Amino acid sequence: MYVFFSIARVVHFASRFVTRMTTIMRILFITSTRIGDAILSTGLLNHLITQQPNARVTIACGGAAATLFKEVPGLEKIIILDKMVLSLHWLRLWVMCIGKIWGTVVDLRNSPMYYILPSIQRWRIGRTGTKLHRVRQLASVMGLSDDPPGPKLWISNHHKSQGKAIIGEGPPVIAIGPTANWRAKTWRAGNFAELMERLTGPAGIIPGGRVAIFGREDERPNTLSLIEAIPEKRRIDLVGQLDLLEVFSCIRCCNFYIGNDSGLMHLAAVSGIPTLGLFGPSPKELYAPWGEFCDVVTTSIPYEEIFSKNFDHRVSDTLMDSLSVDSVEKAAHRLWNRSKEGLT
């Protein structure tokens, strides 16, 4: 009799344990330190949240990307992964996570967490060595590369109202991202200025249009000449004034985006507005903006030939000089026309 009583108690506590696990399912999503890669991973996160709408979500990412996840449904915590000596940041993450029951762990950093953190189901990204677009690479972690979920960002109603208020009433707006995380990827400010004059001129895609300039505060010195080249009454200078979700909210209220290969370009693509990325020393096959109305225009010197023998991105000047204003203008017209046709 005692044996049966003991078995019943075990079954009772086991059922309570399983019930707790199913009612308080937790997702740990370990993603990139870089803004662009973090954005491209959000489609996979959205897929998980759609499958588990009641899950509590913890994001582990770099500090630069953390703001992107503030409005994620079911968000429990954002853990910022600051790099530490001897990779001790992974030990720190393990200590912060080990006391919880994890239903799902997704590791997009190929970290030790995949092996040392208990979970019901887990996925990790390995070393791909493939030229598939990064969205497809990330989707392949869960076997979704044939029909990959596109990137997704979440914003509040406050963000939406804020974006509308900042952009304000007036003529349509071309948003531009004239910076990048390293100098070699940046098209010269003078080229952007000339392009904006053409695209907002009588024969442009948005005659009389306004221009919104985006970038980080520390990038302001590199954008001043461009900012000053745009007439004040048609200029919306937002460099260094907004966090990432605020930038996203503003870009959603614009009509077209042109920018270097950067996190801003990927933000624009997620917003759904026509997005034209400028590429040179980065592979468009991997990092082109993802979306129906997205396109790229590349330097005349191919990616495989653009680097010098002793290239160092920390000191290199731009490698984008073989991309002409004429080429970008033509690409902008093609994308604009295609987007108009697609929306009719």
Tell me the per-residue pLDDT of 51-71, one tens digit each, with 9 for 90 and over: 999 999 999 999 999 999 999
The two structure tokens encoding residue 189: 């400010």
| pLDDT tens figures, 250-297 | 999 999 999 999 999 999 999 999 999 999 999 999 999 999 999 999
Look at residue 86 in the predicted model and tell me its pLDDT.
86
Q: Provide the Cα torsion 333, 335, 340, 344; round to 10°.
A: 150
pLDDT value of position 327 = 98
**What's the predicted TM-score (pTM) here?**
0.91
Residue with token string 């109202």: 161
Which of 39, 56, 228 lies closest to 152 in space, CA to CA? 39
Do 28 and 58 touch, CB atoms closer than 8 A? Answer: yes
Mean pLDDT of all residues in 176-191 = 96
Beta bridge partners of 124: 107
Name which of 180, 176, 261 is nearest 211 in CA terms: 176
Please tell me whether residue 87 adopts helix, strand or coil conformation.
Answer: helix
pLDDT attached to residue 344: 53
Give residues with Cβ within 8 angstroms of 247, minimum separation 6.
Answer: 214, 238, 264, 267
Q: How confident is the model at residue 21 (pLDDT cuts 50, 70, 90)?
A: very low
Instruction: With a cut of 80, say whether residue 11 has pLDDT above it.
Output: no
Residue range 200-223: average pLDDT? 97
Q: How confident is the model at residue 314 (pLDDT cuts 50, 70, 90)?
A: confident
* pLDDT value of position 131: 84
| pLDDT (mean) for 167-179 | 97
Q: What's residue 233's pLDDT?
A: 95
What confidence tier does 343 reach under pLDDT thresholds 50, 70, 90? low
Q: What is the pLDDT of residue 15?
A: 37
Arithmetic mean of pLDDT, 196-202: 98
Q: What domains can you pick out in the chain, each with its CATH number?
A: 18-142 (3.40.50.2000), 162-343 (3.40.50.2000)
Helix (H) or strand (E) segment spanning residue 107: strand 102-107
The torsion of the CA quartet 291, 294, 296, 297, rounded to 10 degrees, works out to 170
- Using left for φ > 0, alpha for ψ between -120 and 50, and beta otherwise, residue 50 falls in alpha
pLDDT confidence of residue 7: 38
Q: pLDDT for 88-142, tens place per residue?
A: 999 999 999 999 999 999 999 999 999 999 999 999 998 766 789 999 999 999 9
Is the CB of residue 259 less than 8 Å from the CB of residue 187?
A: no
Counting residues of the chain whose pLDDT is more than 90, the rounded percentage is 85
pLDDT for residue 130: 74
Alpha helices in 61-178 (DSSP H): 88-97, 113-116, 134-139, 157-167
Q: Is the predicted pLDDT of residue 199 greater than 50, yes or no?
A: yes
Cα gap 19→232, rounded to integer Å: 61
